[in-house]
Amino acid sequence: MRTIVLMLVLIIVFITPGHAYSKKDLLQQSATIEQVKSALILHQQWVPYPDYNDRAGWEKMLGETNRELLIQNGERALTHEWKVVKLTDYLEYERSGNRRIMETPLGSNVTAITHLLLAELAEGKGRFTDQLMNGIFAACEMTSWVLSAHLVLQHSKRSLPDHNDRVIDLMSGDMGSLLAWSYYFFHREFEKINPVISRRLRKELQERILDTYMEEDRFWWMAFNLKPGEMVNNWNPWCNFNVLQCFLLLENDPDKLAEAVHRTMRSIDEFINYTHEDGGCEEGPSYWGHAAGKMYDYLQILSDGTGGKVSLFNHPMIRNMGEYIVRSYVGDGWVVNFADASARGGGDAALIYRYGKAVNSELMIQQAGYLNNNKLSVSRDLYRSLQNLYYADELNQISGTQQKPPYSWYPQTEFCYMNNDAGFFLAAKGGYNNESHNHNDLGTFSLYLNATPIFIDAGVGTYTRQTFSSERYSLWTMQSDYHNLPGINGMPQSYGAEYRARDTSFNPKKRLFSTDIANAYPAAAGVKKWLRSYTLADDQLLITDNFSLNEATTPNQINFLTWGEVDITGKGRIRINVRGEQALLTYDNNIFEVAIETIPLNDPRLSNVWGDEIYRITLTAKKKSNSGKYQFTVRKSKRNNSLLLDSEKVKQAG
């Protein structure tokens, strides 16, 4: 297997935790604005799809099955009643924190437009045109395409859209690119009916997207005014990707187009600068498609629009960013879900394939073939929908296998994954407590047996105003006490960039990951050192906590989060049964007392993954200790082939 930054062989790697940002400026290094101008393919000649009236081209591209599916989707949208987002729907975000009350009707309209557009491209008889124009006209009549939760980007910071204050967010960008493709494919057909339709649509796109992007630099996601320590996350590539589509589809003045494209390159560079060179996505697999995935989409359309002359696909970092989604896949639809990510997923096979093909990653191509179910994925991201159609036959020819590297080490992001032939998959992390979509979770781990989660990260509930506010860490899902971590002197970890791991390392030869999480706790916890280590052997996992405190005021606690069936009736033993995979957590009854908390999951975003409830197991030390060593071993029982979590002798000094 090739040697890359993630597979450092037979050495120990130490890193100094810090902010991810390093000024690489890969895009700006690849082309000046003059070089961009000379490379641009004008008048939409870069578009690889047939024109609307090229019926033979669409029949060849779609094939009969996909053509029928698109038409069926469009037929359902023919009866769609265009929803009005009421003023009170916007205000509800401020009043109760509810986002969905305005997002749901708007989302249904966007979905209908998407299906109508694709159906008309597939059929080409004009049957869907009137209803498509209804949707476009309804969109043009809206004061804003921005979600209520994102209208904080307005000068007023309020959740009601101001017609004098243009904003670009995720939804307005998605709407802009969708309507730009609508204009590209159909503006001549619309003009045959009434020229006002095309003129109105072009005007709205100019004012809401093109002019706003060129005239404003205050939106945080642009990162033009980035200050040290500030975050750049998936918003940056997501929004810039949508903006780039709009410019390439609508603007044909070479000077204006070059200026706009280069401006997006400057902004995207800030996302790449922020991302670690190891390619880890600190937002988790659920966000990979919006972060690295949207960056890939951006780079692909930039390459297409410049005839391949502006491209980063040969850069190792871009490849690393893509392969993260493969390495974070455990199996059977389960993924490593640090931060706000869900534990279920695996990624979009079509996106993984296209990305892998672009960066020449056999790891990604094979994984895409393994995940592919030969079903077409269509979403409001029209570019991805069109790309899925364009590459469908090619992807369906691949019979891939699940890719399971024995370990993956992200020395800067501080993620470590290890697996063995006995069916163990361990994921552990260091990092710092101000990552994008952060949970206070330095040192936590997830453990899977035969692709079944045993010790888990719950993830995050349905987004509300509270999720991204000063109240975020009042939510239990964000707190270290509800991760597989210690509570020290009665205190959980704290939020902030200063709360970061120390001396994080991975030794591939010993298969040992360790990180000192002392600095993740507030000063009042009095932690001098808390070195948590994980060692994965052929048949066991060793977990060690080696600690030293200034003073012990409260007995230490060790928390484990799990699901399934939990039995604590055995003396010194806790039996866990998850979907037939059995785990036995044994602990020294002389040192720890055990308690179990049932956590009901009333939020569907959590219950759809874990069921009605999960459990927190808390081992509380019977005495206060200034220093000590806790050690646990996870192994399979040769006797009954179950998983045993066995407490080794605990050496502890008071």
| Count of C-beta atoms within a 10 Å radius of residue 509 | 9
User: For position 5, what pLDDT does the model report?
Assistant: 33
pLDDT beyond 70 at 2: no
Residues 6 or more apart in contact with residue 181 via CB below 8 angstroms:
117, 245, 249, 382, 383, 386
Name which of 60-74, 245-259, 309-323, 572-586 the model is least confident about.
Answer: 572-586
Nearest Cα neighbor of 33 from 420, 306, 283 is 306
Alpha-carbon 204 to chain mean position: 31
Q: Is the pLDDT of residue 651 over 80?
A: no
- Alpha helices, DSSP H only, in 477-570? none
Dihedrals phi, psi of 89, to nearest 5 degrees: -65, -40
CA dihedral angle for residue 40, residue 226, residue 321, residue 292, rounded to 10 degrees: -70
Residue closest to 384 by CA, chosen among 306, 296, 297, 324: 297
pTM summary value: 0.92
**375 contact partners, CB below 8 Å, separation of at least 6:** none
Helix (H, G, I), strand (E, B), or coil: what is residue 188?
Answer: helix
pLDDT higher for 373 or 132? 132
Report the C-alpha gap between 616 and 594 in whole angstroms: 10
pLDDT in tens, 179-194: 999 999 999 999 999 9
* 129 band by pLDDT with thresholds 50, 70 and 90: very high
Structure token pair of residue 213? 């992007």
The strand pair at 486-487 and 445-449 is best described as: unpaired
3-state secondary structure of 178: helix
**Rounded average pLDDT over 18-37:** 90
- CA angle in degrees (0–180, nearest 5) for 264-254-181: 65
Using a 10 angstrom Cβ sphere, with 0-12 exposed, 13-18 middle and 19 or more buried, the burial of residue 369 is buried
State the pLDDT at residue 308.
Answer: 97
Residues 6+ apart with CB under 8 A from 222: 216, 236, 239, 267, 270
Give the contacts of 241 (CB within 8 A, at least 6 positions apart): 173, 177, 294, 295, 297, 298, 301, 383
Query: Are 335 and 344 in contact, with CB atoms under 8 Å apart?
Result: yes
Nearest CA to 110 out of 294, 389, 381 is that of 381
List 535's β-bridge partners, or say none: 512, 542
Residue 360 has a pLDDT of 98
What pLDDT does 95 receive? 95
For residue 196, give the DSSP letter: H
- Mean per-residue pLDDT for 82-87? 98
Q: What is the mean pLDDT of the chain?
A: 92
Give the whole-number percent of the chain exceeding pLDDT 70: 94
Sequence ranges of the domains in the chain: 1-13+252-408, 44-216, 414-653
DSSP code, position 23: -
Over residues 331-341, the mean pLDDT reads: 93
The pair of structure tokens assigned to 36 is 């961009």
- Cα(647)–Cα(27) distance, integer angstroms: 52
CA-CA distance, 408 to 419, in Å (whole number)? 9
| Amino acid, res. 612 | D
Residue 21 pLDDT level (bands cut at 50, 70, 90): confident
Report whether pLDDT(15) > 80: no
Check residue 635 and give its pLDDT.
75
Tell me the HSE value of 132 on the side-chain side, using a 13 A CA sphere. 30
For 183, half-sphere exposure in the C-beta direction (CA atoms, 13 angstrom radius) is 28
The terminus-to-terminus CA distance of the chain in angstroms comes to 48
Tell me, what's the pLDDT at 13? 28
Burial grade of 478 (CB within 10 A; 0-12, 13-18, 19 or more): buried
Express each pLDDT in 418-446 by its tens digit: 999 999 999 999 999 998 889 999 999 99
- The pLDDT score that the predictor gives to residue 228 is 87
Lowest mean pLDDT among 120-124, 197-201, 434-438: 434-438
- Reported as a pLDDT band with limits 50, 70 and 90, residue 469 is confident
Q: So what's the pLDDT on residue 645?
A: 55
Which DSSP state fits 209?
I
**CA dist., res. 547 & res. 527, Å (int):** 8
Q: Residues for the chain: how many in total?
A: 654
Tell me the fold of 414-653. Beta-galactosidase; Chain A, domain 5 (2.70.98)
Contacts of 165 (CB under 8 A, 6+ apart): 154, 155, 156
- Average pLDDT value for residue range 300-318: 98
- DSSP string spanning 115-167? HHHHHHHHH-SSTTHHHHHHHHHHHHHSS--S-GGGGGGSTT--SS--TTS--
The bridge status of strand 565-567 relative to strand 613-621 is unpaired
Question: Predicted confidence band at 646 (pLDDT cuts at 50, 70, 90)?
Answer: low
Residue 339 has pLDDT above 50, yes or no: yes
> Contact 149/119 with Cβ under 8 angstroms?
no
pLDDT at 643 over 70: no
Q: Write the pLDDT tens digit of every residue in 527-572.
A: 999 999 999 989 888 889 999 999 999 999 999 999 989 888 888 7
Weakest-pLDDT range from 132-141, 438-447, 626-635, 642-651: 642-651
Judge contact between 96 and 117, C-beta under 8 A: no
Q: Is residue 100 very low, low, confident or very high in pLDDT (cuts 50, 70, 90)?
A: very high
CA distance 345 to 190: 40
Q: Are 330 and 426 in contact (CB under 8 A)?
A: no
3-state SS record for 55-92: HHHHHHHHHHHHHHHHHHHHHHHCCCCCCCCCHHHHHH
Which residue carries 């038409």 as its tokens?
71
Using DSSP's 3-state secondary structure scheme, residue 104 falls into helix
In the prediction, which pLDDT does 154 show? 97
Evaluate if residue 6 carries a pLDDT over 50.
no
CA diameter of the chain = 86
Confidence of residue 12 (pLDDT cuts 50, 70, 90): very low
Residue 323 CA to residue 281 CA, distance in Å, equals 10
The radius of gyration of the chain from alpha carbons, rounded to an integer in Å, stands at 26
Angstrom distance (rounded) from CA 493 to CA 481: 8
pLDDT in tens, 343-377: 998 889 999 999 999 999 999 999 999 999 988 88
What is the mean pLDDT of the segment spanning 4-27? 52
